[in-house]
Structure 1
Amino acid sequence: MMTARAAMADESIDIAELIRQIRQGQPAAAEQLFRFYEPEIRAEIRYRLRSSAVRRVVDSQDICQSVMISFFLRVGAGQYEIAEPQELLQLLLKIARNKTNDAYRAQLADKRDVRRVQSLDAAKEVGQRPGPENVPAEAAEMTDLLEELERQLSTQEFEIATLRRQGFQWDEIGEQLGESPEALRKRFHRAIERIGRNLTPWF
């Protein structure tokens, strides 16, 4: 299986094209991107979960799934501009770090004693784990989530999302809509964040 680091050394991998296909709602592109980057994301999460006490309450596979759902929804809605494999890898690793920290802080906020909680990995049956073989189904599910997210956008927000999927930059969108590009970008991103959090706890 080709990983992200192998992809970065392979000039035939066109990240910008994969992003374009994801924005068009093509699950195969999401599956391909997931397979490239999943090993690096999992490695980063495992590094952050060095403490055995933390690993008892924070599941690395769940966090990895959270990272990819969050990324696919945002990129599908036109929130990110990414053209290089290294840039994408760094973004995904940053999301992974934030998700891992958030998951552990949530456990602490619940005042749970991490030394006494049964390991989540041990508590789940192997057949229930969302491993790489389930990536196509997960990619299709993310497409459904993106469609629902877009249904909840306002008329102007949906127009912005459509223009972003078509490759328009923020200055071009601002000119078309007669507003400040920065104001449109911030308003659009706030809408995506709000709706995304309502749709899924993974956002």
Structure 2
Amino acid sequence: MADESIDIAELIRQIRRGQPAAAEQLFRYYEPEIRAEIRYRLRSTAVRRVVDSQDICQSVMISFFLRVGAGQYEIAEPQELLQLLLKIARNKTNDAYRAQLADKRDVRRVRSLDAAKELEEKVGREKVATNAAEMADLLQELERQLSTQEFEIASLRRQGFQWDEIGQKMGESPEALRKRFHRAVERIGRTLTPWF
């Protein structure tokens, strides 16, 4: 899959600048491999009845786009990005399993579900954003919920500043700023998307 003709670093810069076409291109390019990984890991028939690989794939990409938009990742190679996306997919699939097999919701205890009931439950679940415009809205909401300092860090990261430079500008340890910022993105992201 790792097509070296794709300039991942440029696509990520475009995504940070809010260009939906770059997000769509990246999604189309990596979606088949992410879905294959998710389907491979969704072995339980009971879980597959209520969790769709497309839902998890969209959650993977939304999570990735939010983090890229917030300046979290530095990726230049297609293979490096693929490995990151597959890791996120594995984690989200594991989270979906844990959620569905929890005692209060254990899907293994469900005796039977007809197709109409499954469709009704899917429609009733929280919808995952499916296009780049909605992802941009999510990024905007993420930024709205950042503190003033966290927003400043996000702005500097989008402008291409490295953590060392941000630390110098803000008069703090780059590592402390990076960790605090990543925790904030994780915290807010979980409120915006399922399985963040």
Following the alignment from structure 2 to structure 1, what is the Cα–Cα distance between the partners of residues 178 and 115?
39
> Aligned to 2:50, what secondary structure does the other structure show?
coil
Give 1:199 shift. Answer: 2.3
Match for residue 76 of structure 2?
83
Following the alignment from structure 2 to structure 1, what is the Cα–Cα distance between the partners of residues 147 and 112?
43
Give 1:165 shift. Answer: 0.7
Q: Deviations over 1:90-113 (max 9, x none)?
A: 010011111111101111113424
2:3 to 9, 16, 40: 9
Q: CA 1:52–1:76 in 2, change beyond 3 Å: closer, same or farther?
A: same
State the one-letter code of the partner of 2:17: Q
- 8 Å CA contact 2:146–2:184 kept in 1: the answer is yes
Q: Deviations over 1:150-199 (max 9, x none)?
A: 11111111111011011111011101111100000011111111111122
Match for residue 70 of structure 1?
63
Q: Which runs of 5+ in 1 are unaligned?
A: 129-134
Give 1:121 shift. Answer: 9.8
Give 1:59 shift. Answer: 1.3
State the one-letter code of the partner of 2:97: Y
Following the alignment from structure 1 to structure 2, what is the Cα–Cα distance between the partners of residues 152 and 138?
21
State the one-letter code of the partner of 2:3: A
Match for residue 196 of structure 1?
189
State the one-letter code of the partner of 1:171: D
Give 1:145 shift. Answer: 0.6
> Aligned to 2:131, what secondary structure does the other structure show?
helix
Match for residue 118 of structure 1?
113
1:35-184 → structure 2 map (5 Å cutoff):
35-109=28-102, 110-114=104-108, 116=111, 118=113, 123-124=118-119, 138-184=131-177
Q: CA 1:201–1:49 in 2, change beyond 3 Å: closer, same or farther?
A: closer
> Aligned to 2:89, what secondary structure does the other structure show?
helix
- 8 Å CA contact 2:56–2:89 kept in 1: the answer is yes
The alignment-based identity, stated in percent, is: 82
Following the alignment from structure 1 to structure 2, what is the Cα–Cα distance between the partners of residues 161 and 119?
46
Structure 1 runs (4+) greater than 4 angstroms displaced: 119-122
> TM-score normalized by structure 2?
0.88
- 8 Å CA contact 1:46–1:60 kept in 2: the answer is yes
Task: Give the aligned CA root-mean-square deviation in angstroms.
Answer: 2.1
Q: Deviations over 1:56-86 (max 9, x none)?
A: 2321111111111111111110111111100
> TM-score normalized by structure 1?
0.85
Q: CA 1:36–1:45 in 2, change beyond 3 Å: closer, same or farther?
A: same
Q: Which runs of 5+ in 2 are unaligned?
A: 124-128
